[in-house]
Amino acid sequence: MLNNRDILITGGTGSFGKRMVKTILERYKPNRLIVFSRDELKQFEMAQHFSEQEHPCMRYFIGDVRDQQRLYEAFTHVDVVIHAAALKQVPVAEYNPFEAILTNVIGAQNVIRAAIHHKVKKVVALSTDKAVGPVNLYGATKLCSDKLFIASQAMRGNEEILISVVRYGNVVGSRGSVVPFFCKMKKTGVIPITDERMTRFSISLQDGVALVMKTLDIMRGGEIFVPKIPSYHILDVAKAIAPDARIDNVGIRPGEKLHEMMIPADDSRHTIEFDDYYMILPSTTSMEEKETIMGERGGKLCEDGFSYASDTNNDWLTVEQLREIVEKETSLPEY
């Protein structure tokens, strides 16, 4: 699928980008694998592990998705773009709203324009459950980004580019997530919990990469792919990491929800269920097109009013399962 292709990953020095690069190098032989990001130190460190000498396909481009001209330069002769660049910390986005908009919205627009201009074959953009019914600016910017990528299928004109979105929940152990924070706080003997009722979706970094790989393989363009993944109670994560620590209830932070959602009820009539994922189709998709997709892949249309939320999920992680996941994810090498 990716052999002899020119692949570019925006935000390529982040947790997802590094795992994606590692997976591609292990499984495929790309012509070029371009890491596009704005942090020269992170690129320098990454190049120590994935050097151009050991991996001649590797390229490291300094640039920002806010800079449309730089994207135009970087996208030259690129076949596949994986858009992972984003400002994703909820409190940071609340405090720096203009910056979040510039990266997450204007950056998405720039990626789309550069991809269409250079006739990129496939674009997959990473999204988040916080884009559904957003209550914080980060979620609102990602909702806007999702809408831009989906609408871009109509903007492409006669170009054959395919553009889709992947949406999933909290990535266990990723930078800035709750797991490394709880592991750090374990040393103090006190774990701060915003609300004991809080639930979240959970996915491993490797499963997130696998979903993107699958999307690149089966995408038709204009869909949002949502994996079937388990939920957890935030209190159970604390118990799994620091069972003897005292729990300190600190209250929900600005922009946080008690529960997250990946498919709202209003999208149910456009959603097809498969064994291990859901596919949200554009609202303009005809019933005939839906039936064709279901016939090809064996899916079924979701019932009207169906929603997929972390608190009503049928699949839950136990404390013991969470402990095993945390131990596995935190013991994995960064590269």
Catalytic positions, written as ranges: 130
For residue 129, the Cα-to-chain-centroid distance in whole angstroms is: 9
Distance CA(271)–CA(282), nearest Å, equals 9
CA 194 to CA 319: how far, in whole Å?
18
Interatomic CA distance for residues 304 and 202, integer angstroms: 25
User: Please, what is the end-to-end C-alpha distance for the chain in angstroms?
Assistant: 23
Measure the CA angle with vertex 135, ends 155 and 123; round to 5°. Answer: 30
Angle value at C-alpha 231, between 228 and 233, nearest 5 degrees: 175
Interatomic CA distance for residues 160 and 198, integer angstroms: 43
* Bridge-based pairing state of the strands 58-62 and 80-83: unpaired
Look at residue 258 and give its three-state secondary structure: coil
Instruction: Please provide the DSSP assignment of 203-221 as one string.
Output: E-HHHHHHHHHHHHHH--S
